[in-house]
Amino acid sequence: MNIKNKALGQIKSFHSVLSKLNKFAISEIEEKNYNYEFTVKSNSTGEKVKIQVYFGKKGIRTVIQGNKEAQFYKEIENLITDEPLLDFAEDELQEPEEYIGTDETGKGDFFGPLVVAAVFVNRESRVKLRQMGVRDSKLLTDSQILKISNSIKNQFPEDFEIVFISPQKYNELYDKFGNLNKLLDWAHSKAIENLLKRKKCKIIITDKFSKSALEISNSTENSHIEFHTIPKAEKYTGVAVASILAREQMVNWFTNMKNEGIALPKGSSNNIEAKANEIISRFGKEKLREIAKLHFKTTKRLNT
């Protein structure tokens, strides 16, 4: 089955589960150039959202268009999140019998932590993880991330390590290393080192972030281990799980900040600068050091 047919199967599944509830007005599925979509309208409030399933080289991605803060949006998102996910792999990937995969999130965000996760997988756990809906975290909604990561932690509590670097600690480490890739190397190596204490593994697969090999690979005590740095390594189950566990920490951090009355944008877009100046005005520039990565060029343009 090709990727387009899989996308059609996925959106038909969403359409079916929502139709059975008899509380929404649902349009027919339409085919666009790069996606399938349909509209859902609340019979009681008249609110609307659009469900879209995109297909392409990176796999299948579900998007819900609407007001993310509205209760109706969250209701639809939860219903879709509860729907079983399809296996989106185009081809069967020959993964090692067992290995540790690592990935990170947050390196491109001005606000928020840097999080690195390392995950041990073998043939048995790989099947269970895929059945949970594990795939590249960029193809999952925040609700799906939280649900899947909770299942991973419950079923495989000893099979992962997470290195959480708060913005304040990140700034200290960046001052020490003077280079983002060196900081990433340290964090990945730390996560791997901690997990190797419990899981004696001979293969490590890391999503590539640098042209250089990981520092940990140069250690004589790890000379028996094969280290592989691979671009877009999320196609490997272990790396995909690592990306999910890392992103869960990021989602929770932003949620906690919002609960404290500080809603922050993600990424490094133009509205970042305005928000950073607002933080300085409300709380002082020291607060910025606690919640932002200050080596970004954005910092030089702020009202400090």
* Nearest C-alpha neighbor of 245 from the set 126, 136, 168, 172: 136
pLDDT of residue 29: 95
> What would the mean pLDDT of 150-166 be, rounded to a whole number?
97
Does pLDDT of 163 surpass 80? Answer: yes
Which CATH number applies to 98-253? Answer: 3.30.420.10
Q: What is the pLDDT of residues 169-210, one digit of tens each?
A: 999 999 999 999 999 999 999 999 999 999 999 999 999 998
pLDDT band at 133 (very low <50, low <70, confident <90, very high): confident
pLDDT of residue 90: 40
> What would the mean pLDDT of 145-172 be, rounded to a whole number?
97
Pick the CATH number of 3-81 from 3.30.310, 2.70.98, 1.10.20, 3.40.50: 3.30.310
List C-alpha distances in Å: 29 to 9, 48, 129. 11, 15, 30
* Nearest C-alpha neighbor of 50 from the set 36, 60, 70, 69: 36
Q: Provide the mean pLDDT of the chain.
A: 90
Does pLDDT of 274 surpass 50? Answer: yes
Q: CA-to-CA distance for 37 and 49, rounded, in angstroms?
A: 11
Does pLDDT of 232 surpass 80? Answer: yes
Does pLDDT of 87 surpass 50? Answer: no
Please give the distance of CA 105 from its chain centroid, rounded to a whole number.
7
The DSSP H or E segment spanning 279 is helix 271-283
pLDDT of residue 86: 43
Token reading at 110: 């001005």
Axis-axis angle for helices 71-81, 3-19 (nearest 10)? 120
* Nearest C-alpha neighbor of 165 from the set 157, 153, 156, 176: 176
Q: What is the pLDDT of residues 10-61, one digit of tens each?
A: 899 899 889 888 889 999 999 998 999 999 999 889 999 999 999 887 678 8
Convert 248-280 to b/e letters by CB count within 10 Å (16 or more is b): bbbbbbbeeeeeeebebbeeeeeebbebbeebb
Does pLDDT of 91 surpass 80? Answer: no
> What would the mean pLDDT of 283-302 be, rounded to a whole number?
92
Q: Which of 20-29, 128-137, 159-168 has the highest mean pLDDT?
A: 159-168
pTM confidence score: 0.75
Does pLDDT of 107 surpass 90? Answer: yes
pLDDT of residue 22: 80
Q: Which of 52-61, 72-81, 238-247 has the highest mean pLDDT?
A: 238-247
Does pLDDT of 303 surpass 90? Answer: no
Beta bridge partners of 119: 101, 160
pLDDT of residue 174: 96
Q: Are 251 and 142 in contact (CB under 8 A)?
A: yes
pLDDT of residue 110: 95
Axis-axis angle for helices 142-155, 71-81 (nearest 10)? 40
pLDDT band at 68 (very low <50, low <70, confident <90, very high): confident
pLDDT of residue 187: 97
